[in-house]
Amino acid sequence: MSDHPKAKRLFGRSQGKALSARQQRAVDEMLPRLSWSDEGGIDPKALLPDYGRHVLEIGFGAAEHLIGQAVRHPDTGFVGIEPFLNGVAKALTGIDDHGLTNIRVKREDARDEIVRMPDASFDQIYLLFPDPWHKARHAKRRFIQADTAAELARLLKPGGRLRLATDVRSYADHAFPILLGRADLEWTGQRASDWRDNPDDHIITRYQTKNLGDIAPVFMDFVKV
């Protein structure tokens, strides 16, 4: 994995408890086949050529949302990037459980991957409950910054959508002005229910049900203009 300066790391440990035997086999055997090269450009259309729509999920955690969306939308190609080995292993076993052929995954810092992708690569991008880095001195580690917001907007097709969800007030207060300030992204919220209620197409994960944040989940949906 890439060695970012410590001050700019967006995640803590890269592995938790030991993988099960099945998870380790999936990492050893499936991940090389479902991942992609560390060098050169990354074209989602080339990774998943049989699909007309392409979706990116950044930091997919335990992969419940990623797997669930791929099951719901077998006609869409999904790209998932996650630095935490245990999450990647769960994604791989989920892919195996459901016999999915419409997902590619990589264990990596997403910042290194998205800059290698062409403009207008995705119809949808998800960034759900990213690490909030609560302390003010750690705010620079949060995924949404001016440069990453620009990259996300660049990767969306015209009319494509970005969804950020968080249950931490400081993260919402940090990220929303950055995204709202972009002329190429238009916030879709019109009433309180648009950001307070689970979107109709949302898949609730076990993390979300734990209510670990300091506010109820907030959903910020933006469209590329």
Which backbone phi and psi does 101 adopt, to 5 degrees? -120, 5
Contact 90, 82 (CB under 8 A): no
Residue type, 52: G
Pure H helices in the chain: 21-29, 31-34, 44-47, 64-72, 85-98, 110-114, 146-155, 169-180, 192-196, 206-209
Torsion over CA of 181, 183, 189 and 195, rounded to 10 degrees?
Answer: -40
- Which entry of 109, 123, 131, 167 is annotated as an active-site residue? 131
> Which two structure tokens, joined as six digits, stand for 7?
């001050």
112 noted as active-site residue: no
The residues that are catalytic are 131
